Structure 1
Amino acid sequence: MKRPIRIANFSGYLGDRFTALDEAVAGDPVDVLMGDYLAEVTLAALAGRHRQDPGLGYVEYFLGQLRPNLRALAGRGVKVVTNAGGFNPAGLATAVRELAEAEGVTLTVAHIEGDNVVSRLGEYAGAGHRLEHLDTGQPLSSWGVEPLAANAYLGGWGIAAALAEGADIVVCGRVTDASLTAGPAAWWHGWRPDDWDALAGAVAAGHVIECGPHAVGGNFSGFTRIANGVTPGFPIAEIAADGSSVITKHARDGGEVTVDTVTAQIVYEIQGPRYLNPDVTVHLDTLRLHREGPDRVRISGVTGSPPPPTTKVAVFGLLGFSLVNTVYVTAPDVDAKIELLRAQLTRDLPDGIEDLDLTRIGTAAEDPETQWDATVALRVMATAKDRETLVRLNLPQRLLSLYLQSIPGFYHDGGTTMPGSPRPRIDYWPATLPVTAVAHRVVFGDGRTIEVAPPPQTALSPQPVHPEPVETPVTQRVRRAPLGVIAHARSGDKGGNSNVGVWVSDERAWPWLRTALSTSELRRLLPEVKDLDVVRHEFPHLRAVHFVLRGLLGTGGSSNLRVDQVGKAIGEYLRARHLPIPEELLDDVPH
């Protein structure tokens, strides 16, 4: 048996810290460097870039990150795996080869293709594939939007095959985020495609490290207790032959790896205890976490089963255009002032305006000590099918023209200009497609290709149904306090759904949390979801309750009208809400 493979992350999304690859190369020894760039909203943005210039559509600044580190990577034999290829992995692979040649470095570069299926949509329809919506079951033909991009989620076996054939750098498009870790682990340990438990463990580890500093204290509800949180480092997964792993970080870097920072990432952007991937179905409810030492958390007990017979296809289409401006309203009489603004802004709208949405952000203090305590922001967003309609609307001028004829205490930020250029609104359709209908191949610079077979076995694995907790008479003394005093949370997006996981560090608080946080209580705490379909699950080993809020994000983060477009703040909003908490739990909270 080989020693565990050490896989270090250097990017969690497009826009992550540019110096992260430098930091990883200068950090502790690792075998593979993994960079994840492709969130769903990122794909939507890259789709437009690729359409404007088919030679692009990949993450261009990855080349800038890679250039100064090429010699060190080649000298140490460290592999690089990334999905920075976006819509054009072949183009990025060519650019990497040219960069290596210019730097005088010999490296073998391969790319993974087959995920881009937009040109095959007609073929799929002719073959009877309906590309049903993942949540509604409706066929793609009912969408009413012309697809401009469609990418199937591939697994990690193409990456494993590329590494086995000597690739030093593997460029991917839309593989699942966790495949960037599971593929190298399968290559390193020589796993078979039906080593379900080992694969599931690697996918779980990949899910933890795929978002970079998330696992090291970034975006963490307990951030006030994280050491050196100004610059949290990037995580490392040490994955053993049985799929168990240890999550750690480079010793010299900031942040911390704790059971809670790892839990935060496990409950992030999932649909429930069954975590579906193209290579394996991961049973997250069997997962255990154990602190092995400072900045070392072991993940064990993960079990796996065959993957589903279908894979997800991210289909994007141009829904229209939007324009957003933000102005400020000063107390008193904030509600009445906003209503007058609404009436004035919606008067004589040009034909073709679909929405003119006004969102109030914040609440003025009762007795404000400063002008800013008396101020709320008002976000004004207009949408239309075509750009020209929004240009005719001229939203900045419409707002500026109200200064002498509208409300007192109304202004915009004088330190900036009000944007007037409409932006595309990209709609999202998460489709399903049989895995056997998707090509998956490895391509090397010399033209060699390797065809990757579909999984040897598939199976449907529906999410378990967990009954609502039974309300019990309160026998303890309680005190109203914010949920966040004793509980952590993290939330995120999956298409039009938002998820939120809530957990407690103290095992004594778990019986209270699972009983208190019922679906009906969540609806009370979050009035915005009172009419939505809410799915609730429990993770006893993590002391967590997890919710999927179906439709909270409309049809997807790239097209909905919410200010918090992708639901990243739902967890903290929930933690800010007050509810009755047993006093004995509150008394034990460290201050």
Structure 2
Amino acid sequence: MIRVGNCSGFYGDRISAMREMLEGGDLDYLTGDYLAELTMLILGRDRMKDAGLGYAKTFLRQVEDTLGLALEQGVKIVTNAGGLNPAGLVAKMQEFAKAQGLTASIAHVEGDDLRERAQELGLGTPLTANAYLGAFGIAECLNAGADIVVTGRVTDASVIVAPAIAEFGWGRTDFDQLAGAVAAGHIIECGTQATGGNYAFFSEIPDLGRPGFPIAEIHPDGSSVITKHEGTGGEVSVGTVTAQLLYEISGARYAGPDVTTRMDSIELSQEGPDRVRVSGVTGEAPPPDLKVSLNTLGGFRNQMEFIVTGLDREKKVELAKSQLESWLTKRPAELRWEYSGTAKEDAETEEQATSLLRCIVKDPDPKVVGRAFTSVAVELALASYAGFTFTSPPGDAQPYGLFTPGYVPQDKVPHIAVLPDGTRVDIPAPEQVQALADVDEPALPEPIEPGETRSVPLGLVVGARSGDKGGSANIGVWARSDEAWAWLAHALTVEELKRLLPEAKDLEVTRYVLPRLRAVNFVIEGILGQGVASQARFDPQAKGLGEWLRSRHMYIPVSLLPA
């Protein structure tokens, strides 16, 4: 068994987490996930300003603080913090290791960056183009004695899967073992989301003040136990693990470069306090193509937010819209209004009597959505509706990005392990692949007799976790008892979801059923426009979408409601 901890779920996560994990208890490996679709755009802009950048600078600070401690304890560090420049990050780490009088074997993985070949591969001319590599290059570096391995774009779970490959000697066709490690990796990759963070039933967790980061104890057969350091905050339960398993997935098949994990095979059991066993995971051959993260600069955006208070709010909104649009000398390529009419009647405070009106503009020319736009908005201040004011002063136009996925055959993408001594090892593409396909929908449980029902928030009986998948969003909804599952599986259909979430009414929605997790997962196509960086929605990563769903009322059997 190996203990693999995680100390980062995103670029900007708790800076002290690496030290906390190294000082908190025994570990064999410490991993960190720093990359997301938006992060790649941020790193791409960094690299445009300075070709020596393109990596996660916070990771460099963390390792500079704790390298001596990690080496002393024999904890190996694996991370994707190399971003667009893993070799540059290695060079920086070697500099400060030498300055501290430390000897560290540092390796990296490259080959994911396809920007120079993007047109040749039919990917256009993006700012960044990075294929999602797998875990075998990292394992090669670990087998060569690396103390630290940094990568560019690999799948988030790969930094956790690789230590298990290195330790247990798994091969390319050990699909069940690889899939088990992918499940463990998917659970801990987002840090404290596995220990109670962003959890639907957070009020039930006794100590969420500062949740500890998760650990996966991975066994040679691919099974694992999810836990955390003793004495840290938060909780590891079947609920918190279920929530994270449902995060940013689609159907029963979870595709990766090394294995396709069958999410419908996963079994969870509470083994003890803060210990959840993950077992029964099966895997299949990976798909023939690698997914490629493509980011382009979409243009420039800006927005102004108007405060609308008191009486005649609808008339005030219409006046502001007509004035601003008619006063603009040049209309932006995209001009969109959002109105949150949340004001209360006869409110006891001014804030409760207020709604917000947003005007969002986008254009290829920063001048059109810069002062030319904001100055017109400001000119309305003394010439528009009663009580006119803003939430903040006008700002300059900001660049925004567009994310699109691409796909390239695995054998067209180099996968290179650069060992601590500089030796370059080519990692071959998997020989056995299998085209991805949906599974047949499983049988649903027998429906329960509803008996007396009551219109109450859905979240009284189910949990939910939502997130972004490019321009789409997923909402995983799970029940905490067999009875609630028997109701949920029949009650929460695609049609019912669209009724509860009118923003999805005209969008394509697919439901996937995962009986072993007592869960249904919905993928809502296009609700986020062209991805988080395009800022198409006020909640651009769909983090609150699941909680909105839980707040909506359905007629639920009284027998399922909490006392």
TM-score bucket (shorter structure): over 0.9
Confirm whether residue 90 of structure 1 aligns to residue 68 of structure 2. Answer: no
Partner of 1:546: 521
1:489 alignment partner, SS class: strand
What corresponds to 1:42 in structure 2? 39
Matches within 5 A, 1:527-542: 527-542=502-517
1:519 positional shift: 0.7
- Tell me the matched-pair count: 563
State the SS of the aligned residue for 1:247: strand
Q: CA deviation at 1:467?
A: 7.9
- Tell me which residue corresponds to 2:377: 399
* 1:529 to partner: Cα distance: 0.8
Deviation at 1:334, TM superposition (A): 2.0
Give the SS at the match of 1:56: coil
2: CA distance, partners of 1:544 / 1:218? 19
SS at match of 1:558: helix
Q: Which residue of 2 aligns with 1:235?
A: 214
2:325 to 346, 371, 379: 346
Structure 1 pair 584–114 and aligned structure 2 pair: CA distance change class (3 A): same
Say if 2:446 and 2:486, in contact at 8 Å, map to a contact too.
Answer: no
Given the two structures, how large is their TM-score scaled by the length of structure 2? 0.97
Structure 2 residue 309 is the aligned partner of structure 1 residue 309 = no
The amino acid across from 2:409 in the alignment is P
Q: Secondary structure at the match of 2:239?
A: helix
1:33, distance to aligned residue in structure 2 (A):
0.5
Q: Does 1:437 align with 2:434?
A: no
How many angstroms apart in 2 are the aligned matches of 1:269 and 1:510? 21
Whether contact under 8 Å (2:260, 2:283) holds in the other structure is yes
The equivalent of 2:367 in structure 1 is 388
Tell me the residue number matched to 1:192.
171
Aligned to 2:334: 355
Partner of 1:412: 390
Q: 71-80 vs 444-453, which deviates more?
A: 444-453
Q: Deviations over 1:120-171 (max 9, x none)?
A: 123324xxxxxxxxxxxxxx45xxxx41110000000011000000110001
Q: Distance in 1 between matches of 2:412 and 2:482?
A: 46
Q: Matched residues in 2 for 1:161 and 1:331: separation? A: 65
For 2:399, the equivalent position in structure 1 comes to: 424
Identity %: 47
| Residue of structure 2 equivalent to 1:463 | 438
Match of 2:541 in 1: 566
Displacement of 1:351: 3.1
Gaps spanning 5+ residues in structure 1: where?
126-139
Deviation at residue 444 of structure 1 after TM alignment:
3.4
Supply the distance in 2 between the matched residues of 1:402 and 1:124 (Cα, whole angstroms): 50
Checking the alignment, whether the CA contact within 8 Å between 2:12 and 2:58 is kept in structure 1 is no
Which one-letter code corresponds to 1:404 in the other structure? L
Contact 2:144 / 2:420 at 8 angstroms: preserved in 1? no
Distance in 2 between residues matched to 1:305 and 1:204, nearest whole Å: 13
The amino acid of 2:5's aligned partner reads A
**Matched residue type, 1:38:** L
Q: Which deviates further from its counterpart, 206-215 or 348-357? A: 348-357
What do residues 34-61 of structure 1 show as CA deviations (whole Å, max 9, x unaligned)? 0101111111221111122111011112
CA RMSD of aligned residues (A): 1.7
Counterpart residue number, 1:137 = none
Q: How far is 1:468 from its partner?
A: 10
Distance of 2:143 and 2:475 partners within structure 1: 38
**SS of structure 1 residue aligned to 2:327:** coil
| Conserved 8 A contact 2:187-2:194 | yes
Comparing 397-406 with 246-255, greater Cα deviation is found at 397-406
Length-normalised TM-score, structure 1: 0.92
Query: Could you say if the C-alpha distance between residues 351 and 259 of structure 1 is closer, same or farther in structure 2, counting changes exceeding 3 Å?
Result: same
Q: Secondary structure at the match of 1:364?
A: coil
Q: Is the 8 A contact 1:194 1:456 kept in 2?
A: no
- After superposition, residues 82-481 of structure 1 pair within 5 angstroms as 82-125=79-122, 140=123, 146-351=125-330, 353-361=332-340, 363-395=342-374, 397-413=375-391, 418-466=393-441, 475-481=450-456
Residue 326 (structure 1) shift: 2.5
Partner of residue 460, structure 2: 485
Moved more, 462-471 or 179-188: 462-471
Q: Is the 8 A contact 2:144 2:419 kept in 1?
A: no
**Contact 1:215 1:261 (8 Å CA) reproduced:** yes
Q: Determine the structure 2 residue equivalent to 1:56.
A: 53
Q: Which moved more, 1:91-100 or 1:197-206?
A: 91-100
Q: 1:434 to 1:69 in 2, by over 3 A?
A: same
State how far apart, in whole Å, the 2-side matches of 1:470 and 1:525 are. 23
- Which residue type is aligned with residue 15 of structure 1? G
Distance in structure 1 (CA, Å) of the matches to 2:301 and 2:443: 41
- 2:487 & 2:31 partners in 1: Cα distance? 39
Q: Which residues of structure 2 form unaligned runs of 5+? A: none
